[in-house]
Structure 1
């Protein structure tokens, strides 16, 4: 089963991206599951490296690294927010709308957060 998660919300201030990343990670641990995550809009900030959060609070960058599958970031959204390729966590890569279209066509399920 191939599942695509599309995230739109920022990493903090809402728990939508946090919950999506938690679910992606849990699903990726299941046998026979392939997970892909695509970050759009303010969600691209989830993949920013070097995030400093209060003790006991989740780190969205760490969660992206542990999502369990391929992670793409909307390049246009990155540019609009001044996020450079060298500022994202390991395993996350600049993507395109065409990549998202391909991933969507290949997915058995698409979950949008």
Structure 2
């Protein structure tokens, strides 16, 4: 089994980096021919992607829904404690299933992963 860690730094709507990373993660879960364990760690402005009840314009990509799809697929999603605190984000305001974690958890995930992708 391959273990992949995606570490996202970019905000959800300023560019397409996070959107494309999530597209890739969803595709890996749906189309992998071998077992894959994925983890996603949100840092910097990427933590704002986990805010629940975001309103997007019609026909706009809804990053929160993409995170919910990954959670439903069994992907673990954590967000940086320092980053959420710096932005005034509390766990109660976030999508159910996304957890706040520290660099200790990120370090352990990194050491446990076969591949680490920074986006």
TM-score range, shorter chain: over 0.9
Matched, 1:33 2:39: no
1:72 matched residue in structure 2: 78
TM-score norm. by structure 2 comes to 0.91
Looking at structure 1, the residues matched to 114 and 107 of structure 2 have their Cα atoms a distance apart, in angstroms, of 13
Of stretches 54-63 and 72-81 in structure 1, the one that deviates more from structure 2 is 54-63
Q: Which runs of 4 or more aligned residues in structure 1 lie more than 3 Å from their structure 2 counterparts after TM superposition?
A: none
1:7–1:17 Cα contact (<8 Å) kept: yes
- Residue 66 of structure 1 deviates from its aligned partner by 1.4
Secondary structure of the residue that 1:56 maps to in structure 2?
coil
TM-score norm. by structure 1 comes to 0.96
Matched, 1:62 2:68: no
Gaps of 5+ in 2: none
1:65–1:92 Cα contact (<8 Å) kept: no
2:47 matched residue in structure 1: 44
- Residue 60 of structure 1 deviates from its aligned partner by 1.1
The alignment of Structure 1 onto Structure 2 pairs a total of residues equal to 113
Q: Deviations over 1:69-103 (max 9, x none)?
A: 00000011000001100111122110110000000
Say what the alpha-carbon RMSD is for the aligned residues. Answer: 0.9
Looking at structure 1, the residues matched to 62 and 54 of structure 2 have their Cα atoms a distance apart, in angstroms, of 7
